[in-house]
Amino acid sequence: MSFKIFSLQLTGKIKPVEKIENQREALYKNYQEFLTVEKSDELKEYIELESYINSSDFKKKKAEIESLQFKGSKEYNELAEFEKLKKTKKLKHYFKVVDSQDLVRFEKIENSEKPGEFKTLKEYVGGGKFAQDKKEKKEEAFNKKNRYRLLKSDPDVRFYTRFKKSSLYRDFLDVKSSNDLIRYKELKERTASNSFLERKAYLEDKKKWEKTEEFTKLRKFEEIKGRPHIQNYFKYKGSNDFDFFKGWELTFEDNFSGALDSGKWSTVNKWAEHVGENFSLPGDLHFFTSGENIKTNGKLTIEVKKEKVKGKIWKMPAGFVPVDFDYTSGLLSTSNGFGKGEEIFEAKIKFQPLKQLVSTLSLSGDNGSPMVNLLEMGTKNRLGISKLDSNNKIQVEGLDISNLKPGKWYIFSVEKSGAAFTWKINDTEVLSINKNDIQYPLNLNASTIVVDEIPGHLLPNAFEIGWVKCYRKK
């Protein structure tokens, strides 16, 4: 038994096959998603938005908008100036007078003859002329004086005189043609305009940045950035997680979901093809049928059965000799000609060894030796390279795997890179061998042979393979 396999299992480095397959499936799904995103308009839009949002123009625009406020603005100062003017005493007096009935009455009186007549008579009575005339033109002078007294007590004249002397009217006259009034009217019109009110509302708006096109673009950028497939894209961009998919292409695959694909597999041994049917060798306890012991139903099953069957053995010098066999088995082989360049071969296999049998999945050339074994289980449980020596004895360079758990599924793989062969179990490297003499096309072979009598309760026996895949370096 191998301490290496025991140690790897003990430390958890050989992970459960279910976990490996789930990780592979998830990674491949992420890779397909990565490729889709990489070519998408969505990513193009994201990159354009990112470039714009990180630009100096965007940052400048954002800073400008966020710095805008009503206080201290041109509009603020104009409104403050308007409010200040509105509160001045003279302007208050002006507006108290300008539309008043008093001003209407005053102007009506002013446009009459009374103010002028009263002024003339007042100057006449108060001056030296009246004193002179009362001697010479006594009646006329006193008539004028009486008229003066009458006008002096006249309500309109009294009102006119009092209003004209008032501070209200004086301020009214001061303001009437003043620059302050002109400015006041300008500011009143300006601050009441829609453009001013809209600008004021904009400057006072605490959320004016959120209402800009720039903010909309920022939100769009953040929304796209938060999408899971976009996050995954940047998670994997620049990483080596997808190196396998980028560097290797799938050249052969079979998951045995339907009938056996005769375009991929042959149930007749390569050396029996010219005969048209399988044959056995001296000492064999089994006969390879032509597919009757092969089943496919989501997995490949090679069955060993206890049954009488007539077959042939190749025996020198007689040639093919008819023989009765007690066991039947099956085999599969490809004729794809693998081994051209750097390649990976892997298969999901149920580890269920039976010491009376030898079940193998291997790679070999036309001569059959040496054999690169992805797995050999039964009498011996191992992987590595086996070959016949000059005495026709099998010599093996490899690793014992008897410590694997019976009844469990494992992914067995071997990578060929030049003269280097590297074996893995569930993606964990377990063995590496250099062989310069295996530089020719290889075929995949799967079979079970019977090497000893099998108790009946152990039959039929199944060699189960979940799937087979082969990759070539791009």
Question: pLDDT class for 263, splitting at 50, 70, 90?
Answer: very high
| pLDDT greater at residue 337 or residue 282 | 282
Question: pLDDT class for 13, splitting at 50, 70, 90?
Answer: very high
pLDDT at 309 over 70: yes
- CA–CA separation, 202 vs 69, rounded Å? 9
Task: Give the model confidence (pLDDT) of 62-94 as tens digits.
Answer: 999 999 999 999 999 999 999 999 999 999 999
Question: pLDDT class for 341, splitting at 50, 70, 90?
Answer: confident
- Whether a cis peptide bond, with omega within 30° of 0, leads into 322 is no
- CA–CA separation, 327 vs 308, rounded Å? 7
- CA–CA separation, 385 vs 419, rounded Å? 12
The pLDDT score that the predictor gives to residue 1 is 61
Cβ atoms of 469 and 253 closer than 8 Å: yes
Q: Percent of the chain, pLDDT > 90?
A: 80
Task: Give the model confidence (pLDDT) of 225-250 as tens digits.
Answer: 999 999 999 999 999 999 999 999 99
| pLDDT greater at residue 20 or residue 390 | 20
Mean pLDDT of all residues in 15-40:
97
Q: Percent of the chain, pLDDT > 70?
A: 98
The pLDDT score that the predictor gives to residue 102 is 94
Average pLDDT, the chain: 93
Task: Give the model confidence (pLDDT) of 110-148 as tens digits.
Answer: 999 998 988 888 888 877 777 777 766 678 778 888 888
SS3 call for 439: coil
Q: What are the phi and psi torsion angles at 460 (to 5°)?
A: -70, 150
Which residue spans of the chain are classified as CATH 2.60.120.200? 1-33+242-474
Mean pLDDT of all residues in 2-6:
85
CB within 8 A of 117, min separation 6: which ones?
147, 151
pLDDT at 465 over 80: yes
Q: Do the bridges between strand 319-329 and strand 286-288 make them parallel or antiparallel, or are there none, so unpaired?
A: parallel
Q: Which CATH architecture has domain 1-33+242-474?
A: Sandwich (2.60)
Nearest to 217 by CA among 361, 379, 50: 50
The pLDDT score that the predictor gives to residue 67 is 94
